[in-house]
Amino acid sequence: MGKSGVRTKKAPKAEKVEKVARREAMRKGLFFACWGVFLGFAGMLGVSIIRFAYPRIVWEPSSLFKVGKPDDYKVGGVTVMGDRRVFLIRDEKGFYALSAICTHLGCQPLWEEDNQIFMCPCHGGRFYKNGINFAGPPPRPLPRFFMKFAPDGRMMVDKSKEVKMDFFLKV
Amino acid sequence: MKWVPLGLVRYTFCLGGLSAFFFLICILTGPFLLMYYIPSVDRAWADVQDLSNVVPFGRFLRNVHRWAACLMVVCVPLHMLRVFLQGAYKPPRQLNWLVGVTLLLLTYLMAFTGYLLPWDNEAYWAATVGMTMGENSPIIGAKGPFSILPPDKDIAYMLRGGTILAQPSLTRFFFAHCVALPGAMAGLMGLHFFNIHKAGGMSGPL
């Protein structure tokens, strides 16, 4: 700025008014610029933190997995696959896989061999062997997952595909 | 600053102060528990066992933390009940009621996340139930009414850090319990006390 910014004693009035107006505009501009930068940065920080909380990659077991050969399972038996959260059941019509996640609040029901029912330990939900809820708080039957044979003759369960109650993997 | 006339002060006026006192106890004991606790799904439970049975005064410190937390969960709603019954939320204290409700929710979240940290069966299934509730909540949950978010973008996914309960979940609960929630609570408690001061000191019966 140098000497141009120094006010002289005999400066004309119009110029003075203009200078004050310019200074006022500058002040306002800086005010909004500062707040704009601050709010913009805060907003960016907020949005990035929310996005940051959603990972791009998760290390989780695949939803498609092999469960062995049909001969490994006896007719009428229920196999609990705790790590996969799946019940594998073989009856006269074939195999079916039920979700081992209670439809009430997500606990894992226990298979009661004596009563031939699934009972959830958290809030007492009960399901028949075919997955239908008949007592307690669960609002829906246990979902049934798609099954197929892998080329090597072993069975596969696909947890990403739900199927209807009449689905059986025939042996 | 105006004070409530001494004759009108009741023991129930202590409930808010007691809540703050128990919070302070938790803040003082919590960091020491961190010296022996590692938030890993393989180690968390064993660390808590060590803390309870091997570390000198470990069980004492842990139980002080735990009991103070439990008593805080008791005191905060009782404090709110007192404020409600005496009409102490009325103008000019409406904002402080809202801050108080937020503090109540944060207290419950602290209790919930602290319960999960030992990562025993109780914690695991409590977390399962909590996350399923998130999944089924309206709008922000993938399975809830009016849901707008897919399962890999909803609130439960963010809280768990994935679609199943595993290491990322425990890390997040740990972060919430030890950093995010206490920080938010301390800030809001400051605001809470400042609002009391601004409105003229302790609230009394109207």
ipTM for the assembly:
0.81
Residue of A nearest to B171 (CA): A53
Q: Does a cis peptide bond (omega within 30 degrees of 0) precede residue B92? A: yes
Neighbouring residues of B171: CB distance < 8 A, sequence distance ≥ 6: B39, B161
Judged by a CB distance cut-off of 8 A, whether residue A49 touches chain B is: no
Residue-wise pLDDT tens digits, B120-169 = 999 999 999 999 999 999 999 998 899 999 888 899 999 999 999 999 99
Judged by a CB distance cut-off of 8 A, whether residue A58 touches chain B is: yes
A chain contacts of residue B164, beta-carbon cutoff 8 Å: 60-61
Say how far apart CA A44 and CA A61 lie, in whole Å.
34
Q: Which of A103, A105, A107, A123 to mutate to test the interface with B (most CBs of B within 10 A)?
A: A105
Q: Which of B132, B152, B153 sits opposite A105 (nearest CB)?
A: B132
Q: Which of A53, A61, A122 sits opposite B158 (nearest CB)?
A: A53
pLDDT value, residue A171 = 83
The three-point CA angle B189-B193-B197 to 5° equals 165
Say how far apart CA B43 and CA B164 lie, in whole Å.
19
pLDDT value, residue A9 = 60
pLDDT value, residue A122 = 92
Q: Which of B112, B124, B125, B131 to mutate to test the interface with A (most CBs of A within 10 A)?
A: B125
Q: Which DSSP string corresponds to B131-158?
A: HHHHHTSTTTSSSSTT--S-TTTSHHHH
A chain contacts of residue B133, beta-carbon cutoff 8 Å: 105
**One pLDDT digit (tens) per residue for chain A, 171 residues:** 445 555 556 656 777 888 888 999 999 999 999 999 999 999 999 999 999 999 999 999 999 999 999 999 999 999 999 889 999 999 999 999 999 999 999 999 999 999 999 999 999 999 999 999 999 999 999 999 999 999 999 999 999 999 999 999 988
User: Which pTM value belongs to this model?
Assistant: 0.86
Using an 8 Å Cβ cutoff, are A138 and A104 in contact?
A: yes
